[in-house]
């Protein structure tokens, strides 16, 4: 009950910043995944990005972007 009361005491500007950050993260994840040809996975990343910050972005970077960059670098060295 105490946690709910603390959430209600957050200032309006902080709520606006949080909403903006979540929207930016979801949009970035969707657009980046779509540009990389992820297909339906772009929707997954975009929707998940609208739920919390920063877990979806970190997972996307760790499991999609970094392995893809490693494959590209390995292909160039051959």
Structure tokens at 48: 């998940």
Residue 58 has pLDDT above 80, yes or no: yes
Domain of 30, in residue numbers:
15-73
- State if pTM tops 0.95: no
Report if residue 57 sits inside a domain. Answer: yes
Q: 3-class DSSP state for residue 21?
A: helix
| Structural domain total, the chain | 1
Could you read off the pLDDT of 23-57 as tens digits, one per residue? Answer: 999 999 999 999 988 889 999 999 999 999 999 99
DSSP 28-74: HHHHHHHHTT-THHHHHHHHHHTTSSSHHHHHHIIIIIHHHHHHHHH
Residue 56 confidence (pLDDT): 96
Evaluate whether residue 2 is within a structural domain.
no
pLDDT digits (tens, 9 = 90+) for 5-20: 777 788 999 999 999 9
Is residue 65 a part of any domain in this protein?
A: yes
Looking at the domain assignment, is residue 69 inside a domain? yes
């Amino acid at each position: 009950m105490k946690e709910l009361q603390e959430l209600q005491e957050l200032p309006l500007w902080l709520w606006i910043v949080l909403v903006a950050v979540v929207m930016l993260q979801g949009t970035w994840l969707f657009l980046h995944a779509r540009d990389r040809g992820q297909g339906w996975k772009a929707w997954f990343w975009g929707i998940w990005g609208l739920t919390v910050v920063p877990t979806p972005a970190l997972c996307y970077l760790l499991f999609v972007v970094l392995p893809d960059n490693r494959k590209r670098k390995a292909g160039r060295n051959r």
